[in-house]
Structure 1
Amino acid sequence: MLEFVQLTDEEYASFQENHPCGQFLNTPEAMQQKLVDGWDVEYVGVKKDGQLVCATNLTSIPVMKIYRYYRAQRGYLMDYSDTEVLKFFTKELKSYLHAKKGLYLEMDPNVFHKERDIDGNVVEGGYDHSDVVRKLQKLGYEHEGFTVGYEDREPRWIFTLLINGRSEQELLKSFHQQTRWSINKTIKQGIKVRELGLDEVSIFLNMMHETAERRGFAKREDEWYVRQIEAFKDKGKLLLAYLDIPDFLQSLDQEKADLDKEMADIQQKLEEIPNSKKFVKKQRVVQEALDLNLKKRNEALEMQEQYGPVINMATSLFLIGNGEIVYMHSATDDTFRKYNAPYAIHWYMIRYAIAHGYNRYNFYGISGIFDKEDESYGVYDFKRGFTGVVEEYIGYFTLPISDMMYKMYKKLKG
């Protein structure tokens, strides 16, 4: 027996936490952010013989004065192959929302379309959930299509690193050569990563401002980011990549002391074995290392004089939950671009994912356009350097609630 039910916050949270369709966008934390942003939030679902088999969040705001626009953020928590439950839930949900003056419902299921590889190509014999699209359309949902490009909403295309139990060294070895080089460079250059507290959120916001202005991107207001950070609390990580110059100089001093000792040993060997090719070569290598050490020291001293003892270089916000870590927002100080600080942040969080048993490291949005000439290709190319797979959601669906008024609404919107 199927029963349409309203759910408490606790019932929804418990069901969402372990459901395969659970994702950060349909967590209780995301709903808390919606509440603070001014949306109404409620939860409904379906019980089958007393057991909860389907649940969804319903967020809503007024539209056309007397109606409401509803959204099921990241879709229903259910097995979409269960036609009986999907059909029953759709019918009951439409009646429920009609009684509440709903105009239409929009949802974007946490269901991938077709399995794709790192290059965005469809994997032969891989999964294909086109049937879910057809099933929803048959039930009256309007599909917005398999779109590409960036939109002012959640992305339809993402890039994900699947850890699959691999160690740090195994993952590092799997990365593209340029990515490995960039990570190792951040280590050699003394780039460190730490978490920012709420009292330091201005560091993140200021860098977001600078990055948005430089790249010509639209940026949300500061309060929106703060609300998101506050809503997710310990399920969010705000990270900063920085260079502590006094600390870096100290490490250079230690490196120089080690190199000086090595050089002294080589010179002693050359006195014992003059013109030894082996030790002449070693002497040249160590001298090059000493020259580089001096160059780094002089550069660090110049930077300290110009920018101060600690230089903030990049910042990122990650959200954590439902078995994955999601890379949400990032910003960099272009002055220090050559230090590759974003790589330090990602390597820090990938190691965190390994240590805490997260299988999915979600680099999040890409455009779904894989043409090297397209302006969006650089974002995708950066992410694919860590290896992984392209994932394509089945997309956005609209369920008209008040059919006649919805048609009128669409005409008015143009």
Structure 2
Amino acid sequence: MEFLQLTKQEFERFTQENFSHYTQSANHFEYRNENKKDVHIVGVKDENNQIVAASLLSEARTLRFFKYFYSHRGPVMDYQDKELVNFFFKNLTKYLKKQNCLFVLVDPYLVIKTHTADGQIIKEYDHQNFKSILESLGYKHKGYSVGYQPMSQIRWLSVLDLKNKTEQDLLKEMNYQTRRNIKKTEEMNVQIESLNINETERFFELFKMAEEKHGFSFRGFEYFKEMQKIYHDNSMLKIATVNLKEYLQTLDLQNENLKEEVLLAETKLKENPNSKKQKTAITNLLQRLKSSEKKMTKIKNLIETDGEKIDLAAALYVYNDHEMYYLSSGSNPRYNEFMGAYKLQGDMIKFSKEHNINRYNFYGVTGDFSDTSEDYGVQQFKRGFNADIEEYIGDFIKPIKKNWYFLSKMIAKVK
């Protein structure tokens, strides 16, 4: 086997053919290489000159004179192949020493357990050999964290398996309320639009509302523009909107149909005045008519105060050949009744099926399954789509220049 730097084309082909995270991509490499000059692609070729492992690594300055390296959910490889794992990481150390590396952080895209949305373990995966090899090579596992960590990628992801399932299968497996909410968005004529990079502000306004609602600050406006530049042909900003004038026309048509049904039922009752069935039918129809007229009045008032077309919810999506990632989103709580977030998910799951993408990744949850968890509402939303929770192995850190590394840790403690 040979450890070497790979070309962008070699790396792209390998990550397309082998399951990998969206950050392990040629797009990511190309953008960082052109704009930051802080990225490396390394890998291993076997005796037949076939690539068997690859990883995008980024670097950053630390302690003025040194660099630290990060693996971005890599490397992409068969983690069960002990010989390959040992060879890759031994040679990675040699490579990093030449790069004046102080330490390296590795967070393999490697599931250790699959849970139900309630936290019950469905399946466990044995990766002890992998962990043992890394620890024997000087890597320290940073533990099995719960919650959001400011300096680490989220360790718990909510994932819906789309493989070998039709759209109807997926709908049937969702809970009743989620299925009903998706259907209601169609009844209300909620639409999905694609935003170009110059319309990022429409997304960001809704995203800021989510930050205010949940009391957190995640990313600034420029981050979302940069994400679209990095993953230019594999990213999408989607927004759910509703045209209230069109919705009012739909309600008006429904209202007229209800009036006709009332007249028909009243005619039948005249023909059979003692019919309890017709009396009950008229009562139900009048209730529906009253509700419809009330809704129409509300929509008319909303048009007067907020305009004909309203932005409901928006989200940033990135995808590769293996997964669709629902990364960041926001919605206007004033318009929750239109359920824009459900329309977004329904349409993007459909998009994934049409493009033969087998995993729909709702992305991070805390891993705290109690009803007091900070993301309880988010978990319940994702749970409705029948997504499972995947728990990942977490971070490994290795000092490359040990003396300088431990000195830096001592200085940090003093500060």
Shared fold (TM-score, shorter chain, > 0.5): yes
Distance 2:232 2:409 in 1: 38
Q: TM-score, normalised by structure 1?
A: 0.93
Distance 1:40 1:386 in 2: 39
Structure 1 stretch displaced more, 376-385 or 162-171: 162-171
Which residue of structure 1 aligns with residue 74 of structure 2?
A: 75
Amino acid at match of 1:315: A
Aligned to 2:122, the other structure's residue is in SS state coil
Distance 1:115 1:100 in 2: 37
Distance 1:15 1:410 in 2: 37
Please tell me whether residue 379 in structure 1 is matched to residue 378 in structure 2.
yes
Check conservation: 1:39, 1:59, Cα contact below 8 A: no
Which residue of structure 2 aligns with residue 359 of structure 1?
A: 358
Which residue of structure 1 aligns with residue 51 of structure 2?
A: 52
Aligned to 1:69, the other structure's residue is in SS state strand
**TM superposition shift of 1:35:** 4.7
Amino acid at match of 2:255: K
Distance 2:249 2:369 in 1: 45
Query: Pick from 119, 133, 146: which aligns with 2:144?
Result: 146
Gaps of 5+ in 1: none
Aligned to 2:108, the other structure's residue is in SS state coil
Distance 1:373 1:214 in 2: 16
Which residue of structure 2 aligns with residue 127 of structure 1?
A: 125
Which residue of structure 1 aligns with residue 218 of structure 2?
A: 219
| CA deviation profile, 1:158-178 (whole Å, cap 9, x unmatched) | 111112332333322222233
Which residue of structure 1 aligns with residue 237 of structure 2?
A: 238
Aligned to 1:159, the other structure's residue is in SS state strand
Check conservation: 2:73, 2:107, Cα contact below 8 A: yes
**TM superposition shift of 1:39:** 5.6
Alpha carbons of structure 1 residues 287 and 354: separation in structure 2 relative to 1, 3 Å: farther
Query: Pick from 116, 135, 138: which aligns with 1:137?
Result: 135
Structure 1 stretch displaced more, 168-177 or 327-336: 168-177
Amino acid at match of 2:186: I
Check conservation: 2:85, 2:130, Cα contact below 8 A: no
Distance 1:211 1:388 in 2: 22
Aligned counterparts, 1:162-181, within 5 A: 162-181=161-180
Distance 1:212 1:36 in 2: 32
Amino acid at match of 1:115: T
**TM superposition shift of 1:34:** 4.1
Distance 1:206 1:118 in 2: 30
**TM superposition shift of 1:291:** 1.6
Please tell me whether residue 102 in structure 1 is matched to residue 89 in structure 2.
no
Aligned to 2:23, the other structure's residue is in SS state helix
Aligned to 2:102, the other structure's residue is in SS state strand
Amino acid at match of 1:233: H
Aligned to 1:25, the other structure's residue is in SS state coil
Which residue of structure 2 aligns with residue 31 of structure 1?
A: 29
Distance 1:130 1:117 in 2: 23
Amino acid at match of 1:329: S
Amino acid at match of 2:231: F
What percent identity do the matched residue pairs reach? Answer: 32
Check conservation: 1:209, 1:219, Cα contact below 8 A: no
Distance 1:343 1:383 in 2: 10
Please tell me whether residue 326 in structure 1 is matched to residue 339 in structure 2.
no
**TM superposition shift of 1:64:** 1.2
| CA deviation profile, 1:278-332 (whole Å, cap 9, x unmatched) | 3322222322222222111111111111111111111111111132111100111
Distance 1:8 1:24 in 2: 18
Which residue of structure 2 aligns with residue 88 of structure 1?
A: 87
**TM superposition shift of 1:252:** 1.2
Distance 2:34 2:242 in 1: 36
Aligned to 1:113, the other structure's residue is in SS state strand
Distance 2:130 2:85 in 1: 10
Alpha carbons of structure 1 residues 234 and 268: separation in structure 2 relative to 1, 3 Å: farther
Which residue of structure 1 aligns with residue 3 of structure 2?
A: 4
Check conservation: 2:117, 2:379, Cα contact below 8 A: no
**TM superposition shift of 1:36:** 6.9
Aligned to 2:229, the other structure's residue is in SS state helix
Distance 2:239 2:192 in 1: 6
Distance 2:215 2:115 in 1: 31
Please tell me whether residue 368 in structure 1 is matched to residue 367 in structure 2.
yes
Aligned counterparts, 1:140-289, within 5 A: 140-152=138-150, 153-289=152-288
Aligned to 2:411, the other structure's residue is in SS state helix
Structure 1 stretch displaced more, 206-215 or 80-89: 206-215
Structure 1 stretch displaced more, 26-35 or 132-141: 26-35
**TM superposition shift of 1:341:** 2.0
**TM superposition shift of 1:368:** 0.7
The size of the alignment, in residue pairs, is: 411
**TM superposition shift of 1:362:** 0.8
Distance 1:36 1:310 in 2: 40
Check conservation: 2:8, 2:29, Cα contact below 8 A: no
Amino acid at match of 1:105: V
Alpha carbons of structure 1 residues 242 and 275: separation in structure 2 relative to 1, 3 Å: farther
Q: TM-score, normalised by structure 2?
A: 0.93
Amino acid at match of 1:327: Y
**TM superposition shift of 1:110:** 0.9
Check conservation: 1:114, 1:129, Cα contact below 8 A: no
Check conservation: 1:148, 1:369, Cα contact below 8 A: yes
Alpha carbons of structure 1 residues 44 and 230: separation in structure 2 relative to 1, 3 Å: same
Distance 1:111 1:135 in 2: 15
**TM superposition shift of 1:356:** 2.6
